[in-house]
Amino acid sequence: MTVRPRLQARVFEVLDPDDRPAPIERALNLALSALIVLNVAGVVLGSVPAVERRFGAGLHLLELFSLGVFSVEYAGRVWTAPMKSGALPGWRGRLRWIFSVMGLIDLGVLLALALPGLGGLTAFRSLRLLKLVSILKFGRYSGSLSLIGRVLRSRREELLTTVLIVFVLVLIAATALFNLERGNKGFESIPAAMWWAIVTLTTVGYGDTYPLTGAGRAVAGFVMLLGIGIVALPAGLIASGFNEELQRRKTPGTGAPDQGHAPTP
Amino acid sequence: MTVRPRLQARVFEVLDPDDRPAPIERALNLALSALIVLNVAGVVLGSVPAVERRFGAGLHLLELFSLGVFSVEYAGRVWTAPMKSGALPGWRGRLRWIFSVMGLIDLGVLLALALPGLGGLTAFRSLRLLKLVSILKFGRYSGSLSLIGRVLRSRREELLTTVLIVFVLVLIAATALFNLERGNKGFESIPAAMWWAIVTLTTVGYGDTYPLTGAGRAVAGFVMLLGIGIVALPAGLIASGFNEELQRRKTPGTGAPDQGHAPTP
Amino acid sequence: MTVRPRLQARVFEVLDPDDRPAPIERALNLALSALIVLNVAGVVLGSVPAVERRFGAGLHLLELFSLGVFSVEYAGRVWTAPMKSGALPGWRGRLRWIFSVMGLIDLGVLLALALPGLGGLTAFRSLRLLKLVSILKFGRYSGSLSLIGRVLRSRREELLTTVLIVFVLVLIAATALFNLERGNKGFESIPAAMWWAIVTLTTVGYGDTYPLTGAGRAVAGFVMLLGIGIVALPAGLIASGFNEELQRRKTPGTGAPDQGHAPTP
Amino acid sequence: MTVRPRLQARVFEVLDPDDRPAPIERALNLALSALIVLNVAGVVLGSVPAVERRFGAGLHLLELFSLGVFSVEYAGRVWTAPMKSGALPGWRGRLRWIFSVMGLIDLGVLLALALPGLGGLTAFRSLRLLKLVSILKFGRYSGSLSLIGRVLRSRREELLTTVLIVFVLVLIAATALFNLERGNKGFESIPAAMWWAIVTLTTVGYGDTYPLTGAGRAVAGFVMLLGIGIVALPAGLIASGFNEELQRRKTPGTGAPDQGHAPTP
């Protein structure tokens, strides 16, 4: 660890700058971010037929240029992967990064750019959007993003449980309404009724399907009330998560680091 | 209590494993969970006419097989019911379990499987879905599920009061809009207008009915603002419930570790 | 105050029972509640033309009977009004109750029952619904209802400010969309666009009107994001209100017990 | 600073009264507020063609009168700008106010009133609405408004991060649904699908566009669940912000005047 090759360390710092980046590091990262934003704009606007007809050639050039830049970036990241804090040395560290989420996203983006003719798989081409995530990680908002991430992770189990509860409720509500609204539009089968149930439980309420019978509406009203609870559960979970996180930050040395001051004897 | 029959204790442990189940217990419970999931899939997909035509026979076989397995499970649970912590001994403990919520669900599922020809009561057959609840109780998420359950129970009174308030608001809003929108679609009677009111107060907003007159819209706007409060109330209640629960967990040595612990003198 | 007439005190206790009511008090209050529920059912179901045709005569009899009972109740409440804790003695206490919210509701209900032929004012007749509020005040949920009431009152100023903010946002959003969507359905004038704005900001989203132009949709997307904040504000306010209320309950002897009541020396 | 011109100080106090305004200050500010409300009513109602036809002349007179009053107010504010606490002396303080948000709003309102014939730019005329903001700053609700403002500012970074996350989710959801629902109404291009995505993620759910394919609906259901989290995030953020703010208020003498009681040494 002590005898790091100079160039490798330099490349690592450029690609993974610390909190106070040097001007050159900041400039390179800004340029990379700008290229990502440009690619996103290309994906979004290129999906409009009129734009594709007029600027298709330009967008293609952008893709070629991005392929070059992102390839260099990818090579650099693989090379310097062992220098991340906590990473394994040598190729084991590199392989771990290659198969990490960020590594697979970067590889996917490269493949999507390299094989554009892939059977009209425009879906594949829009994979470039995922590079946006790497922008979020830099810059002004990285602090609050990691705060939000920590809070969500601290409530991971409970949030997943909420999703499970929603899933069971969707199944039960859909089956009930399928039996009550038999034959009405949108309730022809349980999978069809599940679409209604999820749209209702999340209080989105498109209005493409809704119960028409009295009994169906009574049960649906009950489902909507449950929907309010379903919105309230994660809100309460996240609120208590933020409370905890903020108190932890403030009382690093205290014995019992919780909100309510212990009863003074 | 000291001279427990060996087999009964064994069956009980298999059906109601503690936190660190033996491999055989885990395997049996996984198999049971898989059978429940298969049944749920059968109910859901069997409701699609095309699937029913092609795989109806297979689904019927699955039902017969499940009837056998669930009967054995039910018999085992009745037999070992007195061994649950806090249960009454002998048949009194068994009867109490049979008439508990979980016991009635299991019995209903058995009857639904045993009497499939029951006058086309497919509604009855879909009762098997309720077995999903018993899956949720095992496995990874049982901890956070019981945390959520405890928080909801600690706010039970307030949440039910919120439901009552919603009900009164629905009645008043429906009556007001019925009088203002007289004759317009969806407001032909107060029960009809109640459908509009619950859809609006829960912010689902299908858009199948909405006020058309100026006065109706003014009152409806007010109802929507109340709807925001209706969403906010349970969110606030649950948030404070989680805060309390987390503080209790952190201060395990306090005197009375319940919702409002008594003031220590 | 020392020489209270026996009968007046008895009537007061019956109409306004304390936490541990005598059997006779409980029975009378239950009967009164049942009559209110019956009246509500009469208003709701009587609005359905088919029910009105078949049971109109019976509903009329119910109205006459209720007029009698509610008159006696009203007289009793006026008579015993000075016995409420903190009320002024004699007719000053009575007048204050007559012009209180509950007093005016009761008077309105009486008038609505006494003058049913009033120019087809069925709106007036449905005033009986408001008696539901007096049911909520008794019984199991009175405790949590008053807790919720206290929390909402402690955040009254902030909640009203939120309503004001919503109103200003509605005005601004409606004016912006009116100018961007000029002539499109639902945006013919600013008052028309205000209907769209309130439906959107409260995330109800009926879908009867929505922007069609690109610029209109861009601004509308921004309005929807604000709408999420508008839902989040009261949720946060009420959550902090419940936290405060629960901590107050737990630490009755602490020095500065918080916002509410001054520290009793 | 010691030798303030009498008149300037008087004008300043009238335009920017402290908490206990003199009767004359209160009356003038009330009159100004009334004129703003009248202008808002003029903008809103004047957008209705029937009203414009009948009362157009009167509304024009109101505009002329308002132009006069607001000009005097603007001149007074520019003149007394250096007297604001913390303002720079002389014209530097004046320029800073002129280019502040409130200053630019006031200037815009004046220009909008002075140039009404400006190419039919009614959009420009409705700028007067923004004066509403200055009403909110006075009166009963200024306290809770500044409390809400402080809480929102204290969570500014996290709220903006939430908006960024929503934006990235909208992009990804829109691209996914564009690829799954290709050609269906509302999903003709990614920008079109973005409209669907924002309407769904904010749980508004107009129902003008929704997925029709099975795969599209499965992904959309996932997006709706994310939408619940998107509503829950700011609610939790704001709840913890209010908690912090209220605890700060209660412990005014503590060293570190924030939520967590200072770490006891």
Residue D243: per-residue pLDDT: 84
Per-residue pLDDT of chain D (265 residues; tens, 9 = 90+): 445 578 888 888 888 777 677 888 888 888 888 999 998 998 899 888 899 889 988 988 998 899 999 999 999 999 988 888 888 888 898 999 999 888 888 888 888 888 765 545 566 667 778 888 777 766 667 788 888 999 999 999 899 989 988 998 999 999 999 989 988 899 999 999 999 999 999 999 999 999 999 999 999 999 999 888 888 899 989 988 888 887 777 765 443 333 333 343 3
What does the pLDDT read at residue D138? 65
Whole-number pLDDT of residue B255: 39
Count of CB atoms within 10 A of residue B116's CB?
Answer: 15
Tokens 């033996």: give the residue: B22
Strand, helix or coil for residue D213:
coil
Q: In chain A, what residues touch B147 (CB-CB under 8 Å)? A: 158
Per DSSP, the residues of chain D read --S--HHHHHHHHHHS--SS--HHHHHHHHHHHHHHHHHHHHHHHHTSHHHHHHHHHHHHHHHHHHHHHHHHHHHHHHHHGGGSTTPPSHHHHHHHHHTSHHHHHHHHHHHHHH-TTGGG-HHHHGGGGGGHHHHHTSSTTHHHHHHHHHHHHHTHHHHHHHHHHHHHHHHHHHHHHHHHSTTSTT-SSHHHHHHHHHHHHTT---SSS---SHHHHHHHHHHHHHHHHHHHHHHHHHHHHHHHHHHHHH-TTSSS-SSSPPPP-
3-state SS, residue A192? helix
Asked if D203 lies within 8 A of A202 by C-beta distance, the reply is yes
Rounded Cα gap, residues D53 and C205, in angstroms: 32
* Higher per-residue confidence, D203 vs C247: D203
Q: What is the DSSP letter of C18?
A: -
Give the highest mean pLDDT range of B55-69, B245-259, C249-263, D206-220: D206-220
Sign of the dihedral through C-alpha B2, B4, B10, B14: negative
ipTM of the complex: 0.87
Per the CB < 8 A criterion, the answer to whether B240 and C243 are in contact is yes
List, for chain A, all residue ranges whose pLDDT scores fall below the cut of 50.
Answer: 1-2, 119, 253-265
- Phi, psi of D251, deg, nearest 5: -110, 70
Identity (one letter) of the amino acid at B261?
A: H
**d(Cα B199, Cα B166) in Å, to the nearest integer?**
11
What average pLDDT score do residues B204-217 get? 93
pLDDT in the model for residue B262:
37
pLDDT-derived band at C4 (thresholds 50, 70, 90) equals low
Q: Is the dihedral of CA A166, A167, A172, A177 positive or negative?
A: positive
CA distance A91 to chain D (A): 33
Q: CB count, 10 Å around CB of B77? A: 20
What's the pLDDT at B139? 64
- Provide the whole-model pTM: 0.87
C199 burial type by CB count under 10 A (0-12 exposed, 13-18 middle, 19+ buried): buried
Identify which of B178, B196, B260 has the alpha carbon closest to the alpha carbon of residue C125.
B178
How far off is chain B from A255, nearest CA to CA, in Å?
10
Pick the residue from chain B with its C-alpha nearest to C132.
Answer: B168
pLDDT at position A191 is 92
Q: Which DSSP symbol is given to C203?
A: T
pLDDT recorded at residue A1: 46
Task: pLDDT band for C133, please (50, 70, 90 cuts).
Answer: confident
Of the listed ranges A119-123, B22-26, C19-23, D87-91, the one predicted with least confidence: A119-123
Query: Smallest Cβ distance to A199: which of D158, D172, D224?
Result: D224
Q: Who's near B245: CB < 8 A, 6+ residues apart?
A: B147, B150, B151, B154
Q: Does C140 or D11 have the greater pLDDT score?
A: D11
Residues of chain B contacting residue C148, judged by C-beta atoms under 8 Å apart? 158, 161-162, 165, 233
Q: Which of D168, D206, D224 is nearest residue A198 as measured by Cβ atoms? A: D224
For the segment A117-157, what is each residue's pLDDT rounded down to a tens digit? 554 555 666 777 888 877 776 666 778 888 899 999 999 98
- The tens digit of pLDDT for each residue in B142-180 reads 788 888 999 999 999 899 989 988 998 999 999 999 989
Query: Quick one: average pLDDT of B244-253?
Result: 72
Residue C251 has pLDDT above 70, yes or no: no
Highest-pLDDT range among A136-140, B254-258, C38-42: C38-42
- What was the pLDDT predicted at A197? 95
Q: Stretch C19-23: mean pLDDT, rounded?
A: 76
Task: Look at residue B28 in the predicted model and tell me its pLDDT.
Answer: 87
Range of weakest confidence among B74-78, C36-40, D252-256: D252-256
Please judge whether C203 and A203 are an interchain contact, meaning their C-beta atoms are less than 8 angstroms apart. Answer: yes
CA distance B250 to B245: 9
Taking contacts as CB-CB distances below 8 angstroms, the residues of chain C near A218 are none
pLDDT at C1 over 80: no
How high is the mean pLDDT of chain C? Answer: 83
Are D236 and B236 a contacting pair at CB < 8 A? no
**Is there a contact between B207 and D203 if contact means CB atoms under 8 Å apart?**
no
Across the range C214-237, mean pLDDT stands at 91
Quick one: tokens of C242? Answer: 């419940």
Contacts of A259 (CB under 8 A, 6+ apart): A243, A244, A247, B243, B247, C243, D243, D260
Distance CA B211, CA B219 (A): 9
CA B149, distance to chain mean position in Å, is: 11
Q: Choose from C51, C243, C246 for mutation: most chain A CBs within 10 A.
A: C243
